[in-house]
Amino acid sequence: MMTIHLLHGCASHWRSGRQTFRNFVSEDALRSYLKNLPSKYGASLCSNGSDVLTIDDSTKGAGWAAAIARECGHQVFLFVNPHQISTGEPYYFSLFDICLDNRRESKIMYHDIEYDLDTQVTIFRRAAKRVLSNLDHDSAREAVVEIGELLNCASYEIPEHAQPLTLAELLHLRDVGVIIENHGWSHRCIDSFSTTELKQDIAATQTWLLRHVGTRSVQYAIPFGETILPLNSVEGLGDVVLLADDRCAPGLIRKNIWNRVDIGRRLQSLK
């Protein structure tokens, strides 16, 4: 039975335990995994077809992973956010992760709750994510800067794998056969959108991809992957809508909604 796999990219010098690498995998591990698969990833969503590989976000690490997949003979889908590509601004969560890695405080108060970051960094990250993911991009970045001040962050330098793709890099990926698709304009949680706002967000990305990349996007991967859309919101979003929700079984959920399996943790454990 066909399964849709998900990655967020790779890094050449991957390090365990660092927040800036939490959603990425080692480049060597990815290459080994792809070369040793018994069959190639395909490009068709068919219950009885080949597994499908999808990569989310507009980071250089995501682009590197997509390029490696093509080098190894696999089909691959890359779901991008045009805001990061067109502005060159990094994701607010990349900035947040570097703040956590470079913190000089072990205890902070955040929204009237005290966190001991030596033992509760994951709990704190989840709490902050709930707040940040519902803000627009600019507001989220401002909020992260405030968190950085709470953490007494030593450096805000984002590593290369987490920096945004350029348009030239995206066009190169298209030219080597990567299938470019829609991940929303700036990776904002869609729970904060009305149905009209959601469709506008998706349409803006479709228009940008057609104008700048020359591709007609027909698939949409929901940012953060865990929002189940009501049926009346699915119409017009694309031929395929993709989740990444480990609370649901993988595969076809209903209508044109598919749930993916994140294989990042599995590849992080490879030597």
pLDDT tens, position by position, 38-89: 999 999 887 678 999 999 999 999 999 999 999 999 999 999 999 999 999 9
Domains of the chain (ranges; CATH) run 4-88+164-268 (3.20.20.370), 92-151 (no CATH)
Ramachandran region of residue 255, left (φ > 0), alpha (ψ -120 to 50) or beta? left
Which pTM does this prediction carry?
0.94
pLDDT single digits (tens) 252-264: 988 788 999 999 9
